[in-house]
């Protein structure tokens, strides 16, 4: 099955919202990690979301190029072809794009989908994220409205963020952010609805203490009730149809009870990156340590081609990511709930 159509992607989100589950959204950087994600979703009978960051695009474009847009386009085209072999639905998404990168990253990617549509082809992307959290809420929403209009023209869903996700990811460091900035207020959630709901469909990354990275138990103070309070405020003012499709950033390492609580409050997408990076690297390190004399030419020996062939260990990393994605599908209750063939 090719990547989900806009109608299928909207149906995926509706199914998750109505069914009380969420999709793992995995950040990928290569064909190996795309294949890992597809295997992980397919093995669990789950639809899912594959996403690309600016850093992933630079990496994928090569050391001599380092062009985030070009690299993301390459990864997206590869995902379209690879997904054809699977009987699940996959949405393609781009992760955090800060205001200074909108013109050089996000708008060219929206234009790439527009060009495909003009040629009679399907969308290249299903959704994009604009991260305006560094701005005050009014400035954030002004840019969000502009981008949402562009997205709606091309049947793309925009993800927006109000409040800041702490920690560091892909070169964006919010480790020293004041604690009060890590929690989105009900007032801000109402304002987001007021500004965007009349334009078109969007997803909302409200923050409730979530932090990028992986920390020891107790280090991160999540407050999922922030989501509950915001949803209640919006629904009380605008009715049940105003319920947000919420996104959970910084989900790696979250205890299962708090994951369930976020699902109860309307989370339909949870980003996962740190855990899958470790899941890729861990089996490779194990292989290297067990095959030290094979991967290296020690003391004049010749090593073992079977050991230092990159395929020998990259496939272990690929399988590690697939296994971790399967766990995420179980945790978020999307396993066995693919709507492939139903829409």
Residues carrying an active site annotation:
95
Measured distance CA(67)–CA(50) in Å, rounded: 20
Q: In 238-273, which positions are buried (b, 16+ CB within 10 angstroms) versus exposed (e)?
A: eeeebbbbbbbbbbbbbeeebbebbbebbbbbbbbb
Contact 36, 280 (CB under 8 A): yes
Whether the Cβ atoms of residue 4 and residue 12 lie closer than 8 Å to each other: yes
139 Cβ neighbours under 8 A, 6+ residues apart: 132
| Burial class of residue 290, CB neighbours in 10 A (0-12, 13-18, 19+) | exposed
* Dist. CA 267–CA 114, nearest whole Å: 29
CA 201 – CA 199 distance, rounded (Å): 7
d(CA 204, CA 129): 9
Cα 278 from Cα 175, distance rounded (Å): 20
And the tokens for 250?
A: 């910084």
Beta strand extents in the chain (DSSP E only): 23-27, 48-52, 90-94, 127-130, 157-162, 167-169, 172-174, 202-206, 246-248, 267-272
Pairwise CA distance, residues 94 & 105, whole Å: 10
Please report the sign of the dihedral spanned by the C-alpha atoms of residue 39, residue 110, residue 9, residue 124. negative
Q: What is the DSSP letter of 103?
A: I
């Amino acid at each position: 099955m090719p990547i989900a159509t806009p109608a299928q992607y909207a149906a995926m989100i509706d199914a998750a919202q109505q069914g009380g589950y969420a999709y793992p959204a995995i950040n990928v950087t290569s064909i190996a990690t795309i294949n890992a994600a597809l295997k992980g979703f397919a093995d669990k009978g789950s639809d899912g979301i594959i996403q690309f960051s600016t850093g992933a695009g630079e990496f994928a474009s090569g050391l001599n190029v380092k062009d985030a847009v070009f690299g993301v386009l390459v990864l997206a085209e590869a995902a379209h072809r690879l997904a054809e072999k699977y009987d699940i639905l996959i949405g393609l998404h781009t992760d955090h794009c800060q205001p200074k990168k909108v013109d050089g990253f996000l708008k060219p990617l929206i234009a790439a989908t527009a060009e495909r549509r003009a040629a009679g082809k399907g969308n290249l992307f299903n959704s994009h994220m604009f991260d305006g959290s560094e701005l005050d809420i009014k400035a954030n929403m002004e840019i969000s409205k502009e981008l949402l209009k562009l997205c709606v023209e091309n049947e793309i869903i925009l993800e927006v963020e109000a409040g800041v996700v702490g920690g560091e990811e892909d070169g964006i460091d919010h480790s020293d952010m004041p604690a009060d900035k890590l929690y989105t207020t009900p007032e801000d959630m109402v304002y987001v609805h007021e500004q965007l709901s009349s334009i078109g469909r969007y997803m909302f990354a409200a923050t409730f203490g979530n932090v990028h990275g992986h920390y020891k138990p107790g280090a991160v103070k999540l407050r999922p009730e922030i989501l509950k309070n915001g949803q209640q405020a919006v629904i009380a003012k605008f009715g049940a149809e105003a319920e947000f499709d919420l996104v959970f950033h910084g989900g790696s390492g979250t205890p299962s009870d708090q994951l369930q609580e976020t699902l109860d409050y309307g989370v339909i997408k949870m980003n996962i990156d740190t855990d899958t990076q470790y899941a890729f690297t861990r089996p490779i390190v194990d292989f290297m340590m067990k095959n030290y004399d094979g991967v290296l030419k020690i003391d004049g020996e010749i090593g073992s081609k079977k050991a230092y062939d990159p395929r020998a260990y990259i496939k272990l990393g690929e399988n590690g990511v697939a296994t971790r994605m399967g766990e995420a599908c179980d945790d978020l209750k999307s396993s066995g709930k693919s709507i492939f063939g139903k829409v």
